[in-house]
């Protein structure tokens, strides 16, 4: 059921918040051993919140699953890493959790993810494997793979994820759900364990565009605890949701429809674009000329910021601490060697290298200049069109382990999503059919819709038209 339908039944007395939690718990027990989306859940605490739920609030009584890099008071926050899995319990609520609670929602369940959100498959989790509900031999996407898989598997009503280079939109596409990355600064990052601070953003994964709008309404807005959060009015995201697309101009970037796209993905996305045209949208071909540099730019900037952010994990302040070190330097080295997985180490090494003396200008400084060019590409495009439509990923979900020895190939799978993070603009993935791929079952594909900065209201309006 959608959040709206559940809310109607709650208000009519047909169901209670406790009954929703008990039903979810039964579904999780039955289905999650196959999917592996949940790392932990605290039913007792959730039922205690449910007993005092204020049903008059917009999300009153609705449980929301939480990606395991968002702090919830008294709950684990492992980030999918051995470093935090042993003994870290969150001492505070992230701002988005505080806002969800203020809207009446109940945080319930900690969702698996790539370690410290570094990955596009959830295979990089140090704790367990999450599988795609549509085919358990395939990835759910990442890094918010647990959140997307649970929503698709009907073991979560909705979930929060984080998106640094596509980590909400890509798993939403692979699992056949809706995933929204808000504009940078639209939602507070306070309480989100940082991967790349200039790119990270929290957003919802849901089974409908309407539910995504409801959750965004609850979590958006200024937060003085986050210096990057914008003090800008939050519009009513629900009021124009059904206004349609008649008269809107939608841009199709020619760079997003080149080589490497699975034919089934292309066909589904083109069919979704034609559906919007049939509803009155004008389709315009546009160019985002610096797209070819986006992957290289991202994989300089993101690891550089990660190497800085992850320096706090040193075996002293919190998290894993190596036993019997010879000295303080040995403590640092052993703790990080034992606590971090291979992908996190790879990105720390890469990030440290591009920031090092003699290489800063050649790599990091140049990447920041190209980032500006990518942002200007979008600014120029939005002078011509209201939104941009494209694939989310070049292919549907691949088999687990297919790229185990080829991380670069995995990085290239983010080509259509990471530019939005570099530019700071909002993006949403909406299911647009299924396709057979690599001898697998019918696998979901997603239509990506990108809008101008703080343009979430129009984005949701277009997504609703694509959904209906």
Q: Which of 167, 173, 307, 335 is catalytic?
A: 167
At 166 the three-state DSSP class reads coil
In the beta sheet, which residues pair with residue 399?
138
Q: Per-residue confidence at 468, pLDDT binned at 50, 70, 90?
A: confident
- Distance of alpha carbon 447 from alpha carbon 437, whole angstroms: 17
Q: What does the domain layout of the chain look like in residue ranges?
A: 1-468
Q: Name which of 257, 207, 283, 240 is nearest 455 in CA terms.
A: 240
- Catalytic: 67? yes
Q: What is the pLDDT of residue 203?
A: 98
How many helices (H) does the chain have, and how many strands (E)? Answer: 16, 11
The yes-or-no verdict on residue 40 having pLDDT over 90 is yes
Q: 304: which 2 tokens?
A: 């550089």
What average pLDDT score do residues 387-401 get?
Answer: 97
Fold of 1-468: Amidase signature (AS) enzymes (3.90.1300)
Q: Per-residue confidence at 357, pLDDT binned at 50, 70, 90?
A: confident
Q: Which of 90, 121, 125, 143 is catalytic?
A: 143
The backbone region for 300, taken as left when phi is positive above 0, alpha when psi lies in -120 to 50, beta otherwise, is alpha
- Distance of alpha carbon 232 from alpha carbon 101, whole angstroms: 22
Q: Which of 67, 99, 334, 458 is catalytic?
A: 67
Q: 280: which 2 tokens?
A: 């009155």
Per-residue model confidence as pLDDT tens digits over 203-244:
999 999 999 999 999 999 999 999 999 999 999 999 999 999
At 45 the three-state DSSP class reads helix
Buried b (16+ CB within 10 A) or exposed e, 392-418: bbbbbbbebeebeeebeebbebbbbbb
Q: Per-residue confidence at 404, pLDDT binned at 50, 70, 90?
A: confident
- Catalytic: 143? yes
């Amino acid at each position: 059921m959608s959040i709206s339908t559940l809310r109607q039944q709650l208000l009519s007395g047909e169901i209670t918040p406790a009954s929703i939690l008990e039903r979810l718990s039964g579904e999780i027990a039955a289905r999650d051993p196959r999917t592996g989306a949940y790392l932990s859940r605290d039913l007792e605490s959730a039922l205690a919140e449910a007993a005092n739920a204020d049903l008059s609030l917009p999300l009153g009584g609705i449980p929301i699953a939480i990606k395991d890099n968002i702090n919830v008071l008294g709950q684990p926050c492992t980030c999918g890493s051995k470093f935090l899995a042993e003994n870290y319990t969150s001492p505070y609520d992230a701002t988005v959790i505080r806002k969800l609670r203020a809207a009446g929602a109940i945080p319930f369940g900690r969702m698996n993810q790539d370690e410290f959100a570094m990955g596009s498959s959830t295979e990089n989790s140090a704790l367990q494997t999450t599988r795609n509900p549509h085919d358990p031999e395939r990835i759910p996407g990442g890094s918010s793979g647990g959140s997307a898989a649970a929503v698709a598997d009907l073991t979560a009503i909705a979930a929060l994820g984080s998106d640094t280079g596509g980590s909400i939109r890509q798993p939403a596409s692979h699992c056949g759900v809706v995933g929204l990355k808000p504009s940078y600064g639209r939602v507070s990052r306070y309480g989100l364990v940082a991967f790349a601070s200039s790119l990270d953003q929290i957003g919802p994964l849901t089974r409908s565009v309407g539910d995504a709008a409801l959750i965004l309404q609850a979590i958006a807005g200024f937060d003085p605890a986050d210096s990057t959060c914008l003090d800008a009015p939050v519009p009513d995201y629900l009021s124009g949701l059904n206004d349609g697309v008649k008269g809107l101009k939608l841009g199709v970037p020619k760079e997003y429809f080149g080589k490497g796209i699975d034919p089934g993905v292309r066909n589904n996305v083109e069919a979704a674009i034609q559906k919007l045209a049939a509803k009155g949208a004008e389709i315009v071909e546009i160019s985002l000329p610096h797209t070819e540099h986006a992957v290289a730019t991202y994989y300089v900037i993101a690891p550089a910021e990660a190497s800085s952010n992850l320096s706090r994990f040193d075996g002293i302040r919190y998290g894993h601490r190596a036993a019997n070190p010879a000295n303080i330097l040995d403590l640092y080295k052993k703790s990080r060697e034992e606590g971090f997985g291979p992908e996190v180490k790879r990105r720390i090494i890469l990030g440290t290298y591009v920031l090092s003396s003699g290489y800063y200008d050649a790599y990091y400084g140049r990447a920041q200049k190209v980032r500006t060019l990518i942002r200007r590409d979008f600014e120029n495009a939005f002078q011509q069109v209201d939104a941009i439509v494209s694939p989310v990923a070049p292919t549907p979900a691949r088999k687990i382990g297919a790229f185990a020895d080829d991380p670069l190939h995995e990085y290239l799978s983010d080509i259509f999503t990471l530019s939005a993070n570099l530019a700071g603009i909002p993006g949403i993935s909406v299911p647009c059919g299924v396709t057979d791929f690599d001898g697998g079952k019918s696998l979901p594909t997603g239509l990506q819709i990108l809008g101008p900065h703080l343009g979430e209201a129009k984005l949701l309006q277009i997504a609703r038209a694509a959904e209906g």
